[in-house]
Structure 1
């Protein structure tokens, strides 16, 4: 990764502002009962998607050299939470190329890969995506679960059991990782 100063710090600030706005809107949104807050969240997501789309059109994927590590992480965050599935698939391709060029991290590629696969109805590869059900978080189906931790390690991710525990801790819910087919 490039530790030098980014060439476009103003773009990094824009991306960081969009990520922060999304996090705030998400924290305020009760996605089940508050239609206005949910609409605000979707507006913030749409604004982030459109801004990132423009940045990509002019500069390509905003990697470490262009926007620094924090800016690149914010770009990933925006793509990961976009409601535009075609844009997410495009971002995934660009992020993959950025990882190959040393401009982005493998862990972010793993998360976006899983997100795109889950939203397409396919099993994920790295076990990063969870659904929050009545019994707490549950990992979406994983392809070839016997080799999950090997794939996770290749992407710089912790073993699945540790990640599952972290996710459960975030929601303060104890319980087994598998509540009915989590890695099938």
Structure 2
């Protein structure tokens, strides 16, 4: 099995994702719902990565190198229209041994993202969305002290500090809250049902 060529393929998937994101930011089209072009790319990348995983198992850093492992995680994190795939990957990551520190952080982010899409509180406060004040705020979490304790165990900053960083990045990228947040949230709920996150 040629892990080097597989690693290069996964890195290309990540680079295509980042390039499209940059283009959408430049055009001011990021944040106005799930952009069709972005959705199509995320689906395609997930299908390619799923074939790789079915062939070699979960692409841990020991197999494909850290850059490719990080690329695979990003593709998984962005495969939001593929609930089964994201859940499958989380289980594979959790069942892998040994799990590095970086992989523990990736598991925290992925488990939070899945929880948010399933309508459950997140445990690490890694997922953010626009609030009624037009600010990016953490999605629902269970308890601030517990979230900060879990984040500390992973070597992450506090949720308060992370919130400030996320908002600062959004300003630099000229991201804005949706014009009609209530309508956008209704559309998001309908989308979650349509792809199978919720019934």
**Distance across 1 between alignment mates of 2:33 and 2:153:** 40
**Distance across 2 between alignment mates of 1:65 and 1:163:** 30
Structure 2 segments unaligned to the other structure (5+ residues): 173-199
Q: CA deviation at 1:156?
A: 3.0
Q: Please give the residue correspondences for 1:22-171 in structure 2 after superposition, counting only pairs within 5 Å.
A: 22-29=17-24, 30-31=29-30, 38-82=35-79, 83-98=81-96, 100-102=97-99, 105-133=103-131, 135-171=134-170
The secondary structure found in structure 2 opposite 1:124 is coil
How large is the RMSD of aligned CA atoms in angstroms?
2.1
Q: 1:33 to 1:164 in 2, by over 3 A?
A: closer
Q: 1:60 to 1:152 in 2, by over 3 A?
A: same
Q: CA deviation at 1:129?
A: 0.2
Q: CA deviation at 1:31?
A: 4.8
**Distance across 1 between alignment mates of 2:93 and 2:129:** 24
TM-score, normalised to structure 1's length? 0.81
**Distance across 2 between alignment mates of 1:160 and 1:33:** 25
**Cα deviations by residue, 1:46-97 (Å, 9 ceiling, x for unpaired):** 1110111011101111001111111111111001000201111111111122
Q: CA deviation at 1:144?
A: 2.6
2:16 matched residue in structure 1 = 21
Structure 1 segments unaligned to the other structure (5+ residues): 1-6, 174-184
Moved over 6 A (4+): 32-35
TM-score, normalised to structure 2's length? 0.75
Q: 1:165 to 1:122 in 2, by over 3 A?
A: same
* Residues paired across the two proteins, number: 164
User: Relative to structure 2, which stretch is displaced further, 48-57 or 7-16?
Assistant: 7-16
**Distance across 2 between alignment mates of 1:157 and 1:41:** 29
**Distance across 2 between alignment mates of 1:109 and 1:53:** 17
